[in-house]
Structure 1
């Protein structure tokens, strides 16, 4: 990749995250914990000079609100980029995970639930389309970049940046209130 580093952050906890609901293209507000996680991101980034960084944010409300809190001290403008929106979950949007999980399916493969569910959501986007969107995003970068996105999209951006297959998404850590950096083929958490 020509421009590095890439800082990747996920939005703070939302009401629907707390309820274990699929959000996809839908939105729910940040919880008190989610706003605290956004502030935690601001504290992490306080020790890092972001001048010269292109800041890109998913246009979905939860990501934009997180970015506004986390970056207020350092960034004058937030630029939205639809390629950073969360993976579409089609007919599962707004449903509880327990309503869609196959009988006997593990619910704890990752903090976000089984990643395989995102691949098989009826009328959902699927990993191939998400990967193409993330490749397009990364290919458009012209400067070091900080992006605020979502759980599955965050993993896919990092997988693509690291040259890893989509099958490795579950190997990449997730979570809210953390900043991940991809630089020179190395993945680390700030």
Structure 2
């Protein structure tokens, strides 16, 4: 499952994407100072959520994962057969990583693969925001069956939403089962990723 992704887009780039969707973008906690980086479990990261009573979206920064039973972080959550009437969010990513057994048996570390939009655009991952007493609001990524681009590397994948579905996901106007599905082949590029 996805336990690492990359987010390098600026607030201005995110604002432009949201503007193209026809949504006003609000910053209820002020415009965040986003630094290009890989996002690990428990890191704070930017997400979009519906703007409550107003039309539009809010850009906020929240922790990736909340503590589950036994304290393990809930960073991925199966979407299969579930409906999400509240708490929907959109996780903004430039790419996400999956890991496979090393191609060289002498190598100790797993191979890392980066999945990204072929045009270099932002990916929107369906997510949920929950409040945990210990940490406040946090988000998790929804997962689904893998599409043809991811299936050779992993048996599950994050729930990527087509850009045309972002607004419907955020405002809850369309059931999750109609929006969350594997994307067709060629929707993602995959490349080996060097560890730094």
- Report which structure shows greater RCO (CA 8 Å, sep ≥6): 1
Larger radius of gyration: 2
Tell me the TM-score normalized by structure 1. Answer: 0.30
